[in-house]
């Protein structure tokens, strides 16, 4: 019995960092999606312009359906939020009257902003 409790305790301790990492990743991705939804940006996907809420909805769908393709926030950005899985064309984001930039660049900037205000 003591051995079983010790084994369970060890599993919990070893698994805790993975749970914390997943929790952090989910908070970061939530922030990315909330930020794009609240922005004044246009999301350009396969040559068509979409509003910020449509961008969030599309990326949320990709997040739900593509969980096996990422295990970090950076992988989510690189593998799902940066380009079309159908055409391979990169997504672009244009904010206000500015130039369109690669979605990858925009999301990485938002992630760095988040991390600078939410240190571990």
* Per-residue model confidence (pLDDT) at position 31: 98
> What ranges in 1-120 are assigned the alpha helix state H?
2-38, 52-65, 73-76, 103-117
Structure token digits, residue 116: 């600078």
The tens-digit pLDDT sequence of the chain (120 residues) is 545 444 334 344 444 444 459 999 999 999 999 999 999 999 999 999 999 999 999 999 999 999 999 999 999 999 999 999 999 999 999 999 999 999 999 999 999 999 999 976
Other beta carbons less than 10 A from residue 2's beta carbon: 6
| Residue in the block written with tokens 């925009």 | 106
Main-chain dihedrals φ then ψ at residue 82, nearest 5 degrees: -105, -20
* Per-residue model confidence (pLDDT) at position 119: 79
CA gap 70, 67 in Å, rounded: 6
Q: Which residues on adjacent β-strands are paired with residue 95?
A: 41
Main-chain dihedrals φ then ψ at residue 100, nearest 5 degrees: -70, 140
* Predicted structure pTM score: 0.82
* Per-residue model confidence (pLDDT) at position 52: 98
* Per-residue model confidence (pLDDT) at position 2: 47
* Per-residue model confidence (pLDDT) at position 3: 54
């Amino acid at each position: 019995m003591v051995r079983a409790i010790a084994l369970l305790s060890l599993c919990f301790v070893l698994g805790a960092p993975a749970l914390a990492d997943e929790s952090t990743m989910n908070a970061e991705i939530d922030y990315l999606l909330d930020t794009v939804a609240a922005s004044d940006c246009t999301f350009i996907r396969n040559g068509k312009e979409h509003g910020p809420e449509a961008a969030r909805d599309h990326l949320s769908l990709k997040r739900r359906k593509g969980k096996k393709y990422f295990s970090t926030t950076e992988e989510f950005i690189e593998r799902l939020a940066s380009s079309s899985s159908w055409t391979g064309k990169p997504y672009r984001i244009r904010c206000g009257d500015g130039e369109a930039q690669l979605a990858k660049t925009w999301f990485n900037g938002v992630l760095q902003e988040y991390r600078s205000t939410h240190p571990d």
